[in-house]
Chain A
Amino acid sequence: MLKVNNISFGYHRDYWIFDEISLELKPGEVLGLYGSSGIGKTTFAKVVAGYLKADKGSIVVDGKTPLQKGRNPVQLIGQHPEKTINPRWLMKQVLKESGDFSAEFLQELGISQEWMQRYPSQLSGGELQRFCLARALVPETRYLIADEMTTMLDAITKAQIWETVLQLVEQHQLGMLVISHELSLLEKTCDRILDFQELSGGSSAF
Chain B
Amino acid sequence: MSSMEKTPLSETKEMQPLLKVRDFSLAFPQYENGFQETYIQVIRDFELSIYPGEIVAVVGSSGSGKSLLADSILGILPENAKTGGKIYFEGTRLTKRRQEQLRGNAISLIPQSVKALDPLMKTGKQVQSIVRDKKAKKRIQREAFQKLGLPANTDKKYPFELSGGMARRVLIATAMASEARLIIADEPTPGLDKKTLREILQNIKQLSENNRGIMFITHDIHAALKIADKIAVFYGGETLEIARKEDFSGDGENLRHPYTKALWRALPENDFKALKGNQPEAGRVPKGCVFEPRCPIATDFCKKNKPKSEIINNGMVRCFYA
Contact = CB atoms under 8 A, between A and B. Distances in A.
Interface stretch (A46-54, A55-63, A68-76, A184-192): A184-192
Nearest to A157: B61
B60 interface: yes
Given A126-B62, A160-B274, A155 B196 contact: no
B62 A153 contact: yes
A152 B268 contact: no
B250 interface: no
B195 A156 contact: no
A186 B37 CA distance: 48
Q: How large is the interface on A (under 10, 10 to 19, 20 to 34, 35 or more residues)?
A: 20 to 34
A160 B275 contact: yes
A125 B193 contact: no
Contact of A152 (B190, B195, B275): B190
A38 B163 contact: yes
Nearest to B192: A37
A86 interface: no
B273 to A, nearest CB: 6
A127 B279 CA distance: 11
Contacts of A112: 278
A127 B278 CA distance: 9
Interface in A22-70: 36-38
Given A124-B61, A184-B268, A187-B268, A156 B194 contact: no
Given A159-B274, A163-B274, A126 B61 contact: yes
A159 B262 CA distance: 11
A8 to B, nearest CB: 23
Given A126-B61, A162-B272, A152 B191 contact: yes
Given A36-B193, A188-B268, A155 B62 contact: no
Contacts, number: 76
A126 B276 CA distance: 13
Contacts of B162: none
A182 B268 contact: yes
Nearest to B221: A155
B11 interface: no
Nearest to B193: A37
A79 B275 CA distance: 22
Interface in B238-278: 262-264, 266-269, 272-276, 278
B273 A125 contact: no
A72 B194 CA distance: 33
Interface in B284-318: none
A152 B62 contact: yes
Contacts of A38: 163, 193
Contacts of B272: 159, 162, 188
A80 to B, nearest CB: 9
A154 interface: yes
A112 B276 CA distance: 13
Interface in B165-193: 190-193
Given A159-B274, A185-B268, A154 B60 contact: yes
A151 interface: yes
Instruction: Name the residue in B191, B192, B263 with the highest tally of chain A Cβ atoms < 10 Å from its Cβ.
Output: B191
Contacts of A110: 278
5 contacts: A37-B191, A37-B196, A152-B219, A158-B268, A188-B268
Closest 5 CB pairs of A and B: A154-B61, A37-B193, A124-B63, A159-B274, A160-B274
